[in-house]
Amino acid sequence: MDFLSKYEIAFKGLKEGSHRFDYEIDDRFFENIESSLVNKGKLKAKVDLQKQSNLLIIEMRVKGTVELMCDRCLENYNQSVKSKEKLIVKFGSETETLSDDLIVLPVDEHQINIAQYLYEQIILGLPIKHVHPDDEDGNSTCNPEMLEKLDQYLVHEKETESEPIIDERWNELKKLIDNK
C-alpha cells in the first residue's frame, strides 16, 4: 500500500455539506514526495471539504515546523510553517489544472489525493531565505564559527567620502545611451 494513499479523500460516498479531515505530516510524508525540498517535519493539517452537487471546495490549513538547512551557516534549524489555502474542484470530461487553486476532475472520479497539494502549501509557506531566526536581543543564532569564517572571506570595498568607487564598465555603457 502506498503511504500517500492515506491522503486520499473519497468524496463520492459523502453527503452534500461540510466534512473535516485531520492529517499528521511527518518525516515519512516527505520521504514519499519525489524530489522533496524538505526531509523532516512535524505538522498538522486540517482539511475542510465542502461538497456541493457540482463542485468541491477544499480548504487546507497547515501548521507546524520543518527542518531546513540555513543558507548562511549550513546548519539545520526548525522553521515554523503556518498557511491556509483553498482548492476548488470542478467536474468535467478529463483531468486538467486551470489555475493554482482550480482543477477539473473527470465526472466518474470518486476520490482525490491531496498529498501533493499539502506539500506545495508547505513549501510555499516557507520564507525565500532560509536562515536561523534571531534571538530576543536581535542577535543571529547561526553557528558563530561559520559566521567568523564568512567574515574572513567577505570583500569590503573602500570608498572615500568625497568620491565613491565607480566601475569603469558603467562609463562605457553610458556612452551607448548618449549616442542614441
Checking if the pLDDT of 179 tops 90, the result is no
CB 64 within 8 A of CB 27: no
CB 160 within 8 A of CB 87: no
Alpha helix ranges (H) inside the chain: 27-31, 115-124, 144-153, 168-179
Q: How confident is the model at residue 168 (pLDDT cuts 50, 70, 90)?
A: confident
Structure-derived torsion over alpha carbons of residues 105, 37, 127, 102, reported in degrees to the nearest 10: -10
Q: What is the pTM of this model?
A: 0.79
Partner residues linked to 63 by β-bridges: 44, 82
CA distance 29 to 141: 29
Angstrom distances, CA of residue 37 to CA of 4, 15, 32, 126, 135? 17, 37, 12, 11, 26
| pLDDT tens-digit series, residues 91-107 | 988 888 888 899 999 99
Q: What is the pLDDT of residue 153?
A: 83
Radius of gyration, CA atoms only, the chain: 25
Write the DSSP symbol of residue 16: S
154-160, long-range: CB within 8 Å, 24+ apart, which pairs?
A: none
Q: Specify whether the backbone of 130 is left (phi greater than 0), alpha (psi in -120 to 50) or beta.
A: beta
Q: What is the pLDDT of residue 174?
A: 81
Checking if the pLDDT of 162 tops 80, the result is no
